[in-house]
Each structure stands twice: as structure tokens, then as C-alpha cells.
């Protein structure tokens, strides 16, 4: 019996990895929303773009941290799905924030 493989965790169990992955994905999602708002509404676009850029980068960093430290795949409780979502959404938020910041200048 191989004991080095990660055991599956129940779907409803909130582990530390899942918590960090979810927080990172929500942070990146907030950045993407701010980036879109900065692009479509010119009022306070510079501030929104800066926050979108910052939260997108934070989502990227935390998502990468979660994925990098995971010892198993989806369903193991390490937050891999949330980490990958944070990486994808954080990248989108960073691009949107950078584009809005360049337009605001």
C-alpha cells in the first residue's frame, strides 16, 4: 500500500488549502470587476485601475503559492482548483488593470 498519495477529502470540508484558494480566486475576481469598471467608467478610472492591478497581482501570487505547495490534484483538499482559478482570473485582472491604467494617463 502506498501511503504517500494524498487521500481524498469530503467535498464539503473546508481545508486550509481550499480556504486560501477560494480567497485568492475571490480577490482576483474583485480585481477583474474593478478592471472592467475602470475601462467602462471614466470617473475614478485611475484609482480603480490601480486597485485592479494590485488585486490581480495578489490573486496571481496567492494562487501560485497554493498550486505550488499542493501535494495532490483536485479533490484532495489542497485548493488546487481555486488556485488555478485564481491564476487565470488574476491574469485577466492584471491585464485589464494595466490596460485601464494606460488609458487613464
Other Cβ atoms within 10 Å of 61 Cβ, number: 15
pLDDT at 32: 96
C-alpha torsion 66→81→22→67, nearest 10: 10
Q: Give pLDDT, residue 1.
A: 44
The pLDDT score that the predictor gives to residue 27 is 94
What is the reported pLDDT for 43?
A: 83
pLDDT per position in the chain (105 positions), as tens? 444 455 667 777 888 888 999 999 999 999 999 999 999 988 888 899 999 999 999 999 999 999 998 888 888 888 899 999 999 999 999 999 999 999 877
DSSP-assigned letters across all residues of 62-75: HHHHHHHH--S-TT
Q: Give CA–CA dist 91/39, Å, rounded.
A: 16
Those residues whose C-beta lies under 8 Å from the C-beta of residue 101, and which sit 6 or more positions away, are: 38, 46, 49, 50, 53
Amino acid at each position: 500500500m502506498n501511503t504517500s498519495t494524498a487521500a481524498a477529502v469530503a467535498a464539503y470540508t473546508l481545508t486550509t488549502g481550499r480556504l486560501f484558494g477560494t480567497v485568492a480566486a475571490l480577490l482576483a475576481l474583485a480585481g477583474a470587476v474593478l478592471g472592467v469598471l475602470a475601462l467602462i467608467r471614466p470617473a475614478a478610472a485611475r484609482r480603480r485601475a490601480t486597485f485592479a492591478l494590485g488585486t490581480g497581482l495578489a490573486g496571481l501570487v496567492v494562487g501560485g503559492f497554493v498550486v505550488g505547495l499542493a501535494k495532490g490534484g483536485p479533490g484532495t483538499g489542497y485548493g488546487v482548483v481555486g488556485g488555478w482559478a485564481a491564476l487565470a482570473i488574476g491574469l485577466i485582472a492584471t491585464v485589464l488593470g494595466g490596460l485601464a491604467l494606460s488609458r487613464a494617463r
